[in-house]
Amino acid sequence: MTERVVIVGAGHASAQVCASLRRDGWSGEILLIGDEPSLPYQRPPLSKAFLAGESTLADLLIRKPEFYEKEHIVFRRGRVTGIDRDAATVGLDDGETLGYDKLVLCTGARPRPLPVPGAELAGVHDLRDVADAQSIRSGLATAGRAVVIGGGYIGLEAAASLRKLGLAVTVLELADRVLQRVTTPRISAFYDRVHREEGIDLRLGTGVVALEGDGRVTGVRLADDEVIATDLVVVGVGVVPNVELAQAAGLTVDDGIAVDAHGRTEDPAVFAAGDCTSYVDARSGCRLRLECVANAVEQAKTVSATICGHDRSISALPWFWSDQFDLKLQIAGLSTGYDETVLRGDPDTGRSFACFYFAEGRLIAADCVNRAQDFMFSKRAIAEGLSPDRGLLADSDTQLASLLQASSTGGG
């Protein structure tokens, strides 16, 4: 009988599992189940090009429908409501039960709700899927003012897009700096400056106690009782991994569905990949849950290889990116645990620089703004465990290729 892989969730990780399974030699059935009507699509552009009306859903598709037809991959819209590991079946919201030989959970994450009165009002939006972005776009024609709650990547990207569209934008952040959870004070200060220069009203250390309006949001009430008038609100206060299916099935959850270096749960027939998972990083020895496309793709490739009997582990260097105004931020590695930083360029005045992070003399991460070459250098240097000379690295006239060569031969 033909074996079947069932993939739950239709995002970046699941799209890559589908493609990799065929390349890795899986000849059995592949069934992809997603609760959105669309085939898997790219989510990062939702807060940028798609929100600005510069791209369509068809542009965002990770792979066109013809790919799935050619590779005999069946897409089914539905929501999986339960997993019976003993029977090796999943139950769907329409009552049907489907069997699997291998099950891959790519359930992703969902927006963290804003716990204040009025969060359910019309005109209050999350920004996680295409329906959210379309809902925001539909209100732009009559909107002149927007409030973004949350100063993380999603919040700042949405703020930049809305500002470029001509709206008056206020960003409210509870912490004392933007991007506090994901980057260092120097990078936060840079983005704070740029957003203010672009005309955004950026308020830090500001709590929201209620959203006000009669059926539709018209104002945001702050902790000091000030009310900011607005036509729409975008909420970006983080995400929560979708682990409930795994948890109900008795699988281990540790800030995400716990998987090993091969993408396996403790059940040999069940795997997981993407934003819903946590794993022990080989470089740091710490358990991580990463919310980024690169990690989802790497985990998906690993899961596919493992299912097909190949030896592969999660080992690629994590990397991330964010587009805001004319800035492309590219991040290589993880800066957690750094004890030294080196700047290349001036973040206090310009819009192009790199910040390198070292731990015990080794380069472990880099934040590169409008510096593609610095980013590529960093990915290679970190992956190879190099220790480039800090003084030469800070000098923008230094050729990065020479630092790679010197470091690899022990000269750095």
| Tens-digit pLDDT profile for residues 181-205 | 888 899 999 999 999 999 999 999 9
Q: Identify which of 53, 81, 56, 71 has the alpha carbon closest to the alpha carbon of residue 15.
A: 71
% of the chain at pLDDT higher than 90: 88
pLDDT value at residue 406: 67
d(CA 307, CA 293): 21
Beta bridge partners of 272: 105
Cα end-to-end span (Å), the chain: 59
Give pTM, 2 decimals.
0.93
d(CA 183, CA 195): 16
Amino acid in position 154: I
Residue 233 near residue 149, CB atoms below 8 Å: yes
Q: Identify which of 196, 51, 207 has the alpha carbon closest to the alpha carbon of residue 115.
A: 207
Over the chain (412 residues), the average pLDDT of each successive run of 10 is 93 97 97 96 92 92 97 97 98 97 98 96 96 94 95 95 96 96 91 97 97 97 97 96 98 97 97 97 87 94 97 90 94 92 93 95 95 95 91 92 70 44
pLDDT value at residue 141: 87
d(CA 355, CA 344): 6
d(CA 398, CA 374): 11
pLDDT value at residue 6: 98
Domains contained in the chain, CATH given: 4-110+240-307 (3.50.50.60), 113-237 (3.50.50.60), 326-408 (3.30.390.30)
| DSSP sequence for 131-162 | HHHHHHHHTGGG--EEEEE--SHHHHHHHHHH
pLDDT value at residue 412: 44
Angle, alpha carbons 328-329-331 (nearest 5°): 145
Beta-strand pair 257-258/277-280: parallel
Residue 222 near residue 228, CB atoms below 8 Å: yes
